[in-house]
Each structure stands twice: as structure tokens, then as C-alpha cells.
Amino acid sequence: MSGTSRPGADRASRLARAAALSGSGKVCPADRATQLLEAIIEPGDRVTIEGNNQKQADFLASALAKVDPARVHDLHMVQSVLALPDHLAVFERGIANRLDFAFAGPQSRKLAELVANGTVKIGAIHTYLELYARMLVDLTPRVALIAADKADRNGNLYTGPNTEDTPTIAEATAFRGGIVVAQVNEIVDRLPRVDVPSDWVDVVVPSPKPYLIDPLFTRDPAKIRNENVLMAMMAIAAVYEPYQVLRLNHGIGYATAAIELILPTYAAQRGLKGKIARHFVLNPHPTLIPAIEAGFVDSVYCFGSELGMERYVSNRADIFPIGADGNLRSNRALAQVAGQYACDLFIGGTLQIDAQGNSSTATKGRITGFGGAPNMGADPRGRRHDSPTWLRAGQEAGESLRGRKLVLQMVQTHQPNGAPSFVERLDAFDLAASADFALPPVMIHGDDVTHVITERGVANLLRCRSPKEREAALRAVAGDTEFGRRQSPEITDRLRRRGIVMFPSDLGIDVNTATRDWLAAQSIDDLVTASGGLYAPPAKFHRAVVTHTWQGDIHEPGQPDFQQPVQHETGAPRPRKAARSDVAVRTQ
């Protein structure tokens, strides 16, 4: 932060310069946005731009990237997500040089280049919750650039369904003498509700166009393959059912989308309705619609919203947190807390897993970051309430005084580019050396991982009693990789007899029946039907011709798909017969 004076000491002079541009009141014209930022930001300031998984303060990000580097330079950027080219343009133009962040999926390769050539100095790669916490302690922004749906002329903000990070960032800045600038889609006389009060907001900029938002949590059922269905069936049979998992978080990807879509079919056939997957912490995944309509789901607490799901969510106030205005109220920070302490299971994917189960998305030439996975994918040792799931996991791990959270990594044995997912040594170690990190950026540590599922089978690491057994269990499910070929069949057989390794046949699953026929929705159109016409998928998901598309799985909201080709079905949706209680749900 600039200077060594008390935080907020020069707040009045900065706001006076801002007032010279905006005149009376808090509203600054959009065509003066860059001048505004030059007036309130000083060299060396710590600045945050609201870059969420979905909602982006893109107009203000663009305005910051255009400031004069002779006037504004050496900024320390603190932001949860690097999603836009403008987020890195400030470094390329010499406006900023330091960065603390959580996730950079869309810009991960470019970020790696800038770190390698010395343009960007990374303080640390955080989890979301960790970064928010530091914003309150030692990484407090001097200036915060946020986004909202609407504002009134007093500066009160309405964030609508996509509240996400906004209140956390605004509060951290406003209560330490910082300056909060909000870009808004429109200014109105009366707000539907107040999500951020006006005394937290200093300047409002009406954006020329609505803020950017992407449907990051939508997975087209047409792209789910039989392998995804097989892994989903194993997850239910080996984890959800025996541990009676009721409270959980799903990372986004085709494997978890497959789980959501076979709850009303495969799980229902196993008699699990009401016994598993009742309380979710996740964004409103469209692939969860059939399970909701079939009565599987009791509640969903959300990090943010999802484009196209607004009407459906508002219509299901019995499931989602809906305000008096009739719209979703999301909160990323609180959802991260709920994901850590209120959930018994976290499930996600990764790019690499080593011999002890450590996983990372940091690979050669890519600094992806973590997002929320390390937070929700860690065993919370401060937890004190019990549940059958938590207690059983602790007992299997040999714990006598505490339970364990289930942390499941679902990954196919090879990545879409052919690279093996299982490696002897993570690329994260090389990244740590080249970027001068104190420690390699491990996403989820192996001692937190309880299960690993591949298309080959399930490794239950809770039942392992030594590092050698953990390694053997992972090699047993690593398939036809160099890592997996180092395991003898005899060792794998012994692990199967002890229930440490489970292949599909051990779980009573016939691989030949693990097909897309189990999916409760086969297409985006089927999800619309299941929603009673309330789900309005974004235009990018409207396809009516045979195409060669790409798919992949990701572990955390906001990451780009790690892609691989798959031929998918097209044309008119299949006719279906369904009652209201199980709309668009197929049964075997």
C-alpha cells in the first residue's frame, strides 16, 4: 500500500478529486471512468477488481488497464479470479507488478509467461476463503472495484442472484478507510432489496453495457460419456451409499454432472431417495434439475447463480435461498465456510496425482491456481459436530477421537491431451522452483484425500495403514499408465480382498450397463423440459447439428474445461413420458 501512513488518512483528498469529476452525488459518468481511477488510485496502492467465477467488473477492469502508467504504477493487485485479458494487461502495461490471487484458469498460460519473464511477482496463490480472510487482515485493498445489478442515487447496491464476492470485498475495503467504486447495469429510484448499503460505496459508475457473466456451471448432458456414467455409478455405490452422504459439495465437470443426472435413476433404483445427497452447497447446476424435481434434494446453498437458471431458482424457494424480492441471494464467502464445515463430502477433479495422493492443477506452462478446492477439499480439524458419514470415515481411518471428511478425487487415468493423470512427481515442484515459491502449489494434500475414482475403479485411502499401501492403492486404479504398470496384479488382488481397491464388478456394477441410458436428461432440451420450461439455457448451448465438440472435467468453478473430443447426439430431443414428480427422469 502506498506510503506508511494510517489506512484511510488521505481518503478525503482522494474523494475530493473524484468529486471534481462526478460533480454532486456519487454517480460518475462512464466516459470519465479512467480519469476517476487516475484520481483515486496512487502508486503502490493495493487494488482489488471483482473478478468472480462468473460476474466480472469488466468495465472497471478495462478502465484500469487504460490509466497512464506514469501516474498510476506499482500497484499490488488482490483479486480472487483472473478471468479477463484486462486483468493481466495492467501488468503488461507496467500499471501493476504484484499479485495475490486464488484462481486464474482462463488466463493461466499467460500468467505463467508473465511470471517467467519477471513481469508479475506472485505473493501467494490462495484459496478463496483464505484470500477473503487476508483482505480483512493484511491484504486490505485501498481501492475496490466491484459490480452490481442496480444502484440507487444514494449508492445502495442490489446485486441480484449473483452477489458472490461483492459484500466481502466492499466491507473489507470500506471499514479500513478505503474507496469502493461500483459499476452497475442501471440506476433506479427504488431497489428490490439492498445487498450493499450506500455508506460502504463511494462512487457509482453506470456501465455502458451489463457486466460480463458466463455460464460456467452448465454441462451439456449430450457430452457426458459412458465412462463418466461408470465413474458416477461407482461413486454412488462405493461412497454415497455406504457412508450415507447427505451434505455435500460437487465440483463442476462431466463426472459430477453424471452423478447428478443418475440420482433419479440409478440411485433411486438402489432405494437411496431420501438417504443420500439431500443438502448441497453449490451453484444452481442445471444438471441438478431432474434430481430436484424427483424430490431427491432438500436444499441448495449457493456461491453464486448460473445464467439461465434465474426463473427456475426463483420458483423453487423451498430449495434455494430466496429473498423477499423473489431472487436468489448467494454469497461466496459464506458458501466456502458451509462447504468446509457443513458438508461431509467434497468431490472434484484435478490434472495430476502423485504416489501419495497429492493433487495439483499446476502443470508445465500453466499457473491455474486453486479456487475453493483446497478449502472444501480439506479435513476441517476444527469441526466438532458429528454425523454418520463423518464418524464412519473417521473409524475407517483409525481415528478414535474424531471423524473425517470425505474428500473424493474423480479423474480419468489420462488427460484429454493424452498426458497421464498419475505421475511420480507433480509438475508443481518445478513451478515452485521457477516462480520462487516457498512450497509447491499442491491443490489438495494426499493426507486429506479419502477416495480416488477412475474409470478403472475406486481406491479407498481411508483403509490404508501406511504410505506404501496408499501408493499401491493409487497404482491399482491408475490403469494403463506408466505409474499403473509398476503395480503387480498380485498386490492389486490383495488390496481388493481387503476392500481398499474396488473394481466395478466388486461393487456389483456391470460395465456393459454403465451407459448414457441412466441419465435423467440426455440433452439441454431435456433439462428445459424437466424444469417445466423455467430454465432458459444461454444461446451457446443451443445446438441442432452434429458437431465434433470438446469436453473435459474441472475441479473448481471458474476453471476452463480440460478438453477431449467426443461425438454427441443432436437433433430433436427424444419424446419422454413423465409425471411432475420425476419430469424427464428415465428409469431402467
pLDDT digits (tens, 9 = 90+) for 290-348: 999 999 999 999 999 999 999 999 999 999 999 999 999 999 999 999 999 999 999 99
In 3-state terms, what secondary structure has residue 34? helix
Give 357-390 as a DSSP string.
S-EES-BTTB--B-BTHHHHTS--TT-----HHH
Helix (H, G, I), strand (E, B) or coil at 235: helix
| Structural domains counted in the chain | 2
Convert the pLDDT of each residue in 5-21 to its tens digit.
566 779 999 999 999 98
Side chain identity at 231, as an amino acid letter? M
Contact 310, 328 (CB under 8 A): yes
Same domain, 103 and 248: no
- The yes-or-no verdict on residue 586 having pLDDT over 60 is no
Mean pLDDT of all residues in 211-228: 95
Residue 389's CB: how many other CB atoms inside 10 A? 25
Alpha carbon of residue 552 to chain centroid: 15
Tell me, yes or no, whether 95 lies in a domain: yes
DSSP H/E element including 261: helix 254-262
Asked if 427 and 364 count as a contact pair (C-beta separation under 8 A), the reply is yes
Q: What are phi and psi of 188, to 5 degrees?
A: -130, 165
Other C-beta atoms closer than 10 Å to the C-beta of 15 total 17
Q: What percent of the chain has pLDDT over 90?
A: 84
Does residue 208 carry a pLDDT above 60? yes
- Residues 74-123 pLDDT 10s: 999 999 999 999 999 999 999 999 999 999 988 999 999 999 999 999 99
pLDDT in tens, 461-504: 999 999 999 999 999 999 999 999 999 999 999 999 999 999 99
Q: How far apart are the first and last CA of the chain?
A: 61
Please list, in sequence order, all residues whose beta carbon lies within 8 angstroms of the beta carbon of residue 113, skipping any fewer than 6 positions away.
Answer: none
Can you give the pLDDT at residue 8?
A: 74
- Read off the pLDDT band of 455 (50, 70, 90): very high
Q: Are residues 479 and 363 in the same domain?
A: yes
Distances from the Cα of 317 to the Cα of 79, 186, 210, 328, angstroms: 32, 26, 26, 9
Percent of the chain with pLDDT over 70: 91
**Pair (191, 240) in one structural domain:** no
Domain hosting 455: range is 221-513
Task: Answer whether 485's CB lies under 8 Å from 496's CB.
Answer: no
Q: Which residue has the higher pLDDT, 563 or 245?
A: 245
Residue 580 maps to a domain: no
Domain boundary among 461, 484, 513: 513
Q: Tell whether 228 and 344 lie within a shared domain.
A: yes
Q: How far is CA 16 from CA 10, 26, 62, 186, 223, in A?
A: 10, 12, 23, 24, 55
Is residue 587 predicted with pLDDT exceeding 60? no
**Mean per-residue pLDDT of the chain:** 90
Query: Is 523 a domain residue?
Result: no
One-letter-per-residue 3-state SS of 503-564: CHHHHCCCHHHCCHHHCCCCCHHHHHHHCCCCCCCCHHHCCCCCCEEEEEECCCCCCCCEEE
Q: What is the pLDDT of residue 266?
A: 98
Confidence of residue 574 (pLDDT cuts 50, 70, 90): very low
Q: Which of 206, 238, 254 is the last residue of a domain?
A: 206
How are the residues of the chain apportioned to helix, strand and coil, as percentages rounded to the nearest 5? 35, 20, 45
Name the pTM for this structure: 0.90
Determine if residue 409 is left, alpha or beta; phi over 0 gives left, psi from -120 to 50 gives alpha, anything else beta: beta
The answer to whether the beta carbons of residues 491 and 472 sit under 8 Å apart is yes
* Residue count of the chain: 588
Q: How confident is residue 52, by pLDDT bands cut at 50, 70 and 90?
A: confident
CA distances from 479 to 202, 470, 537, 571 (A): 57, 16, 37, 35
Confidence of residue 543 (pLDDT cuts 50, 70, 90): low
Tell me whether residue 96 is in a domain. Answer: yes
Confirm whether 18 is domain-assigned.
Answer: yes
Residues 251 and 157 both lie in one domain: no
Taking only the tens place, the pLDDT of each residue in 364-380 is 888 999 889 999 999 99
Partners of 548 in the β-ladder:
567
Residues 426 and 317 in one domain: yes
Residues 499 and 369 in one domain: yes
pLDDT in tens, 20-50: 988 778 999 999 999 999 999 999 999 999 9
433 & 356 share domain: yes
Q: What is the CATH number of the domain that holds 85?
A: 3.40.1080.10
79-112 burial code (b ≥16 CB/10 A, e <16): bbbbbbebbbbbbebebbbbbbbbbbbbbbebbb
Q: Give 240's DSSP letter.
A: I
Kindly state whether residues 382 and 509 are assigned to the same domain. Answer: yes
- 192 grid coordinates: 428490490
Whether the CB-CB separation of 515 and 229 falls below 8 Å is answered with yes
- Report pLDDT for 53: 76
Is residue 582 included in any domain, yes or no? no
Decide which of 206, 239, 273 is a domain's last residue.
Answer: 206
Examine the domain organization and report whether 231 and 202 are in the same domain.
Answer: no
Q: Count of H helices and E strands in the chain?
A: 21, 20
The reply to whether 190 falls in a domain is yes
Closest residue by Cα to residue 282 from 309, 264, 262: 309
Position 569 pLDDT exceeds 80: no
Please report the pLDDT score of residue 203 as a whole number. 97
**Residue 189, all three cell numbers:** 429510484
Predicted local confidence at residue 551, as pLDDT: 35
Helix H or strand E segment including 171: helix 166-174
Is residue 297 located within the same domain as residue 195?
no
Residue 191 falls inside a structural domain: yes
Q: What is the pLDDT of residues 267-285, one digit of tens each?
A: 999 999 999 999 999 999 9
Note whether 169 and 266 are same-domain residues: no
Judged on CB neighbours under 10 Å (0-12, 13-18, 19+), 69 is: middle
Q: Which residues, including other chains, have CB under 8 Å from residue 572's CB and lie 6 or more apart?
A: none
